[in-house]
Amino acid sequence: MRDLSQRLTDLSRPLRVHLVGVAGSGMSGLALLLMGMGHRVSGSDKVTTAETERMQGLGLRFSSPHTAEAVDGADVVVYSSAIRPDNPALSSAREKGIRLMRRAECLAAILATRRGIVVSGTHGKTTTSAMVAYALREAGMHPSHYVGAEIPVLGQNARWSEDGEWMVAEGDESDGTLALYHPACSIVLNIEAEHLDHYRDLDEIKEVFRTLLSQTSGPVVYCREDEGARSVCAGHPQAVSYGWSDADYTAGEIRELRGATAFAVLRGGDKLGEVELAIPGRHNVLNALAAIATCDRLGADFLLVSRSLNSFAGARRRFETKYLSKRLRIVDDYGHHPTEIAATVQTARQLGPERVVVLFQPHRFSRTRALADDFGKVLAGADEVFVTDIYPASERPIPGVTGATVVDAIVSHGGRATSVPDLAGAHHRVGNVLADGDLLITLGAGNVHEAGTRIARDLKVVEDLRALVPEEALEVRLYEPMRRHTTMLVGGPAQFWIEPRSFEAFAEVANYCRDRGITVRVVGRGSNLLVRDGGIRGAVIHPKGGEFGECRVDDDGHVVAGAGVRLKKVASVAEAAGLGGFEWMEGIPGNVGGALRMNAGAMGIETFDQVVRLTVLMEDGGIRTLERDEIESFYRNVPELRRNFALRAVFKGEPDSAENIRRRWDESRAKRRSTQPVAASAGCIFRNPDEIPAGMLVDQLELKGSAEGKAQVSAEHGNFIVNRGGATAAEVLGLIDRIKAKARGARGIELEHEVKIIGEDDITF
């Protein structure tokens, strides 16, 4: 490796270096360093990313996917631990005898060309590395740096400086390569039992750190609060400690501010000065002390160091605020070890939320198995936890070890936890439970942050909608399960569930969505509706209460009802006023809006047989009153209401005696009870074909009682499919397809849906 370090400094003969897996954060950092040094750098990866495109602008020769030809002419090929041995670029380099190096070996060679500062430890490395690099830069010492994440204040995760003698690098202990470094200064944050897929036990991990310290020529800065770091570092001849007390550098007068932490720094017994750290958390005070102690020993001015920490904005995915409003905050954090998670939850508590909600993605099967109880203990400190399946990284599954393992551990420690195995839909479960005052943390080293990004995107729309009208006139929820709002009790979530209580609120919401291309659907009680399992993209408006809940008889003897009124209530109000003709509504489980849109009917009567006039929100955004003769209606179809929304209806009836009305009411109820199932259903599934009633056809096809999962053709009526408890829309649709196929094949009849089927089969939002 020494010969490579010498070659790296000889720019009269620039090296041609190829990096396999260059899109990864660690490998992209090497590319930036090597290009900054003046070498010719190429890289390949299976995907093109924003980072690879940016590096191409800086001189990287990039190719995707990996090919054998990509390494032609290379002096050195560097590969990451994520690269499989049969990768075509790696295999070609091996066959051609090109020098191969692991990522850490290349970094060690680069670090050897400078006075290196290696930041090591089980957790906190990225934040501390960034703090040290930024503080030295602001102190005018022009360091190079290599950090394991994007750092906003540093501009990029790695940078080569021609002017400075120091280089700050994050050292990885996970695979033993920490022993490759020979730095001028080492920082040891903590040493815990971690990466037990590689190490035998904690003692073996400590030996790697002892090797690093034996190869360190200058100060060894360590955290006295950590038993592991103390046991390895305290005896080193150039040991420098930091901590809360009894250390060379300590923090006192700690004041936890909202989103920041202020403290005094003492060296020995002398006060160096004050720091107001721009990121929250007592664990970050320790990280800052590590940076302060290091910079002080290297001769940096404390005032300049403290100023840099005042403006240090943190690293990506290290308690990074992704969304913030008066109602909610979403934070993303990389924490995947119990100690890190405990610090993250504690920091969240310091911000004073009503609840701390966590979406946790365990990282690696081996870590989950080894530390499940510790995960349970620290996560029980949150108010509500959702746990996805395990992010495997490069590991194979371990039988019996899943996200549910962590859920069980949380519950055993008195916490509240729910398993949401599939990350693709986890944000639906989490987003739906969020309430004003909550702080949500997406937590883990995998791709759990994607869920927080989706929720943050949609929360912006929710905030916009809430700002349109007074708060009491509108309720908005994210990802509301449609199974709660359909009589069949199936269906995925509505992206935006909106309950307006006034005509004005309805109009404002509909116009907002239409202006932005957000699909709008209006749903009442969902009595003739089947929503697919992937849910409904866009806005689902459910008129409820307020003007939509009004039902009365006017001076002309007409029943006036808002779109949210149940048909059964319309019938009751009419009966009380001595108006007949509404008895058919008693058996319809829907509301006025849905009945108008579908021209629902029973007992030989249809909704529009009784309509006098409608109040309608028109497609142009205006509210108009339409008389009956302005509206065309057909069997289960009203074209006028496809793009326009009924807000209120006026119905006519006929004066009649209470006895006659009650008799017809009872007849309707008796007929329904004798012919229709009591179980959850969406009403009639198929329109009656010309040849034969659909229910009779299903009966003749001997399909009554047939089932698909928990969905079953009713034994009482062949045109009903019932949910026996826990059915999915896919099961209902599978049963519908089976009935249609048999009707087509056996009788040549093409059945058409009467039930309205909407939504996505798979999760797309």
Q: What angle do CA 300, 302, 306 make, to 5 degrees?
A: 120
Residue 158 CB-density burial (10 A; 0-12 exposed, 13-18 middle, 19+ buried): buried
Question: What is the per-residue pLDDT across 493-547, written as a single tens digit (0 to 9) for each?
Answer: 999 999 999 999 999 999 999 999 999 999 988 888 999 999 999 999 999 999 9
pLDDT for 197 equals: 65
Question: What is the per-residue pLDDT across 43-91, written as a single tens digit (0 to 9) for each?
Answer: 998 888 888 888 898 899 999 899 999 999 999 999 987 788 899 999 9
What would be the CATH architecture of the domain defined by 546-662? 2-Layer Sandwich (3.30)
Q: How confident is the model at residue 422 (pLDDT cuts 50, 70, 90)?
A: very high
Would the pLDDT of 198 be above 80?
no
The question of whether 125 is a catalytic residue gets the answer yes
Classify 414 in phi/psi space as left (phi over 0), alpha (psi -120 to 50) or beta: left
pLDDT for 589 equals: 81
pLDDT for 528 equals: 86
Residue predicted with more confidence, 417 or 2: 417
Give the integer Cα–Cα distance in Å for 433 and 37: 51
pLDDT for 368 equals: 94
Would the pLDDT of 202 be above 90?
no
Would the pLDDT of 649 be above 60?
yes
Global pTM?
Answer: 0.75
Q: How confident is the model at residue 700 (pLDDT cuts 50, 70, 90)?
A: very high
Averaged pLDDT for residues 156-178: 86
Q: How confident is the model at residue 675 (pLDDT cuts 50, 70, 90)?
A: low
Percent of the chain clearing pLDDT 90 (strictly above): 66
Give the DSSP per-residue string, 121-180: SSS-HHHHHHHHHHHHHHTT---EEE-SS--TTTSSSEE--SS-SEEEEEPP-TTSGGGG
Mean pLDDT, the chain, rounded, equals 90
Instruction: List, edge to edge, every strand of the sheet that includes 551-553.
Output: 551-553, 559-562, 645-651, 611-617, 623-627
Residue predicted with more confidence, 624 or 586: 624
The question of whether 377 is a catalytic residue gets the answer no
Residues 6 or more apart whose Cβ sits within 8 Å of residue 566: 525, 590, 591, 592
Q: Which of 126, 216, 344, 402 is catalytic?
A: 126
Give the integer Cα–Cα distance in Å for 334 and 446: 8
pLDDT for 603 equals: 78
Where does CATH 3.30.465.10 sit in the chain? 546-662
Residue 78 CB-density burial (10 A; 0-12 exposed, 13-18 middle, 19+ buried): buried
Percent of the chain clearing pLDDT 70 (strictly above): 97
Q: Is residue 564 a contact partner of residue 594, using CB atoms and an 8 Å limit? A: no
pLDDT for 178 equals: 86
Beta-bridge partner residues of 499: 475
Q: Which of 125, 322, 377, 742 is catalytic?
A: 125
The question of whether 170 is a catalytic residue gets the answer yes
- CATH annotation of 2-102: 3.40.50.720
Helix (H, G, I), strand (E, B) or coil at 472: helix
Would the pLDDT of 632 be above 60?
yes
Question: What is the per-residue pLDDT across 715-732, written as a single tens digit (0 to 9) for each?
Answer: 889 999 999 999 999 999
Q: How confident is the model at residue 159 (pLDDT cuts 50, 70, 90)?
A: very high
Residue predicted with more confidence, 714 or 6: 714
Please compute Rg for the chain using Cα positions: 34
Where does CATH 3.90.190.20 sit in the chain? 320-348+356-457
Count Cα atoms within 13 angstroms, Cβ side, for 220.
24
Would the pLDDT of 200 be above 70?
yes
Question: What is the per-residue pLDDT across 218-251, written as a single tens digit (0 to 9) for each?
Answer: 999 999 999 999 999 998 999 999 999 899 999 9
pLDDT for 627 equals: 94
Pick the CATH number of 320-348+356-457 from 3.10.129.10, 3.40.50.150, 3.40.190.290, 3.90.190.20: 3.90.190.20
Q: How confident is the model at residue 278 (pLDDT cuts 50, 70, 90)?
A: confident
For the record, the structure tokens of 308 come out as 């840099």
Question: What is the per-residue pLDDT across 118-132, written as a single tens digit (0 to 9) for each?
Answer: 999 988 888 899 999
φ/ψ of residue 673, rounded to 5: -65, -30
Question: What is the per-residue pLDDT across 573-605, written as a single tens digit (0 to 9) for each?
Answer: 999 999 998 988 887 888 999 899 889 888 788
Pick the CATH number of 114-310 from 3.40.630.30, 3.40.1190.10, 3.30.56.10, 3.30.70.1710: 3.40.1190.10
pLDDT for 623 equals: 92
pLDDT for 331 equals: 92
pLDDT for 162 equals: 87
pLDDT for 725 equals: 93
What would be the CATH architecture of the domain defined by 679-758? Alpha-Beta Complex (3.90)
Count of helices and strands (H, E) across the chain: 21, 40
pLDDT for 123 equals: 82
pLDDT for 437 equals: 94
Closest CA to 433 of 384, 487, 501: 384
